[in-house]
Structure 1
């Protein structure tokens, strides 16, 4: 019960500031139509309830399961299993990420369907999956994360020189939306589980940096789309 109360307070404290700002603007500057303002208030209620349920689900289900899967994979003693399931889990959790779908919908509308939602979602998911796999490889062999970051962004800047300018901001937005509420908890828990088995609990900090690496994959994927469509 304490966890439920803490989650409710956390969500209320998070949602309340933006609600108060909009209410203040409503009665001072913007004066939205009454129907639209009431829709906003109903949306605030839905968002609050949804975030409470989502965060409870993360704490009850996603985090424990992600860490358990991560701690079970190294026990197989097979590198390819760790890499394959790292890729697969990064891929499927990105498909479920709501932020990615919102971005894909907006790009689909702006591009008049030239870049479809399906292509963008699966391209971003593929990029995340590949870089989560590389992050697993980094945890196993314990080489510095700076090598992957420098190499990844080197590829990004190289591709950016061959990509139409309109794709560059989209690609970096795609990297940002992968740091959403679905992807981050699961990937971090997965990395903690893998690192805790391979080098013990004292080395669980090796799991951090997975989100930074995972955000590079979608950037590269969308830039490649730009090269193809351009």
Structure 2
């Protein structure tokens, strides 16, 4: 019960400043129609309740399961199984990520349907899945993360010169939206579980950096999509 209260207070503290700023702007500068302002207040209530329930679900279900999966897979001794499950989990949690769907909807509207929301969602999810598997490979073979980040971002910047200009900001935004409340907890928990089994002495160092590495995948995936659409 104390955990529920603590999580609820965290959500309130996160949303309250935004609400106060909008209210101050409403009655000092912008003066939106009262109907729109009331809808905003109703939305604040729904967001508060929804985010609170979501975070409770993450703490109760996603984090423990992610860590248990991460601890169980290395014990099978099958690297291919570890990489496949890491790819699959990275893919499906990204498809379920609300931020990714918001970006895909906005891009679909702005591009007048030329870049469909479904294509963008699955491209981003594919990129995350591949790089989560790569992150697991890094833990297994003790590859320094800076080498992978330099190579990945170097490739991303090189590709940016060969794709339509509109795809460059979309690709980097795609990398940002994958660091949302659905993807991040699960990827970190998975990494903690795998690292704790494979390299117990340095599990804390190995289990972090996964989100930063995984977020490069969507950038490259959308850029490759730009090469196809060119």
Distance 2:65 2:19 in 1: 34
Question: Where does residue 146 of structure 1 map in the other structure?
Answer: 146
Question: Where does residue 156 of structure 1 map in the other structure?
Answer: 156
Distance 2:68 2:74 in 1: 11
Show structure 2 runs of 5+ residues with no match: none
Distance 1:16 1:201 in 2: 41
Distance 1:135 1:202 in 2: 15
Question: Where does residue 216 of structure 1 map in the other structure?
Answer: 216
Task: Give the deviation of 1:143 after TM superposition.
Answer: 1.4
Distance 2:164 2:179 in 1: 25
Please give the per-residue CA displacement for 1:185-213, whole angstroms capped at 9, x wherever unaligned.
00000000000001116423211011001
Task: Give the deviation of 1:78 after TM superposition.
Answer: 0.7
TM-score (norm 1): 0.99
**Do the aligned residues in 2 keep the contact of 1:191 with 1:207 (CA within 8 Å)?**
yes
Distance 2:198 2:228 in 1: 40
Distance 2:209 2:224 in 1: 24
**Do the aligned residues in 2 keep the contact of 1:195 with 1:201 (CA within 8 Å)?**
no
Distance 2:201 2:70 in 1: 13
Distance 2:204 2:85 in 1: 19
Question: Where does residue 68 of structure 2 map in the other structure?
Answer: 68
Question: Where does residue 99 of structure 2 map in the other structure?
Answer: 99
Q: 1:139-218 maps to which residues of 2 (within 5 A)?
A: 139-200=139-200, 202-218=202-218
Question: Where does residue 225 of structure 1 map in the other structure?
Answer: 225
**Do the aligned residues in 2 keep the contact of 1:192 with 1:205 (CA within 8 Å)?**
no
2:6 aligned with 1:6, yes or no?
yes
| SS in structure 2 of the partner of residue 162 of structure 1 | coil
Question: Where does residue 27 of structure 1 map in the other structure?
Answer: 27
TM-score (norm 2): 0.99
Distance 1:187 1:50 in 2: 22
202 and 226 in structure 1: CA distance in 2 versus 1, 3 angstrom threshold: closer
Task: Give the deviation of 1:157 after TM superposition.
Answer: 1.2
Q: Give the ranges of 4+ consecutive aligned residues of structure 1 lying more than 4 Å apart after TM superposition.
A: none
| SS in structure 1 of the partner of residue 32 of structure 2 | coil
Q: 22-31 vs 173-182, which deviates more?
A: 22-31
Give me the CA root mean square deviation.
0.8
Show structure 1 runs of 5+ residues with no match: none
